[in-house]
Chain A
Amino acid sequence: GAVVSQHPSWVICKSGTSVKIECRSLDFQATTMFWYRQFPKQSLMLMATSNEGSKATYEQGVEKDKFLINHASLTLSTLTVTSAHPEDSSFYICSASIAGAKYEQYFGPGTRLTVT
């Protein structure tokens, strides 16, 4: 149980275009989802916290107009990278917390974004 999926697993896009990444909790309801970014050989950096039905909370330094997050249901959150640039190329990972489970979060497999 507690499986989180991400789609796509990898994507290549041209500079200036927008890309949408989906994060789904497959067998549980996630009231809270988190989006992380990971550069090669580095740790995970939290970008934003997403609660179902409300606006996402962004970490300091993360542009909310560039990284649009929508958490429309208890099983789906999306991250849209708008007007992507090569410096946005990274590994994007989401995680989901089960409602009522105080400390647990389950990670998706990640999405590799390459902007050319």
Chain B
Amino acid sequence: TQLLEQSPQFLSIQEGENLTVYCNSSSVFSSLQWYRQEPGEGPVLLVTVVTGGEVKKLKRLTFQFGDARKDSSLHITAAQPGDTGLYLCAGARGTYKYIFGTGTRLKVLA
């Protein structure tokens, strides 16, 4: 059972466009992480959010944790081809155990 649903599943955009990826659940999480994964490699952590309503920025990436800690969003401003990859959210139901979302595959065209 996949507890975390991401949308959209696939996204192909032109360089310079903005985009938002959503991560939704009916469950409450103690923390939520976002990762980016390249083909044939392990995921790389982008951010961890732990407080409801928390907003974190990482250069052109803005992450928000929902007030009820059930959902999160990732917004990318002025996307670049280097942003291409599989974006995964992961929610923790305990201190360490994370369950991954369904994934969003992003392709940014030059």
Q: Please give the residue numbers on chain A whose beta carbons come within 8 Å of chain B beta carbons, in ascending order.
A: 4, 32, 34, 36, 41-46, 49, 91, 93, 95, 97, 102-110, 112
Contacts and interface: CB of A to CB of B under 8 A. Distances in A.
B25 interface: no
B40 to A, nearest CB: 7
B50 A103 contact: yes
Contacts of A97: 96
Contacts of A105: 45, 96, 98
Given A32-B96, A43-B88, 16 more contacts: A41-B105, A43-B2, A43-B101, A43-B102, A44-B43, A46-B97, A46-B99, A97-B96, A102-B96, A103-B48, A104-B45, A105-B45, A107-B44, A108-B42, A109-B42, A110-B40
Interface of B: 2, 31, 33, 35, 40-45, 48, 50, 88, 90, 92, 95-103, 105
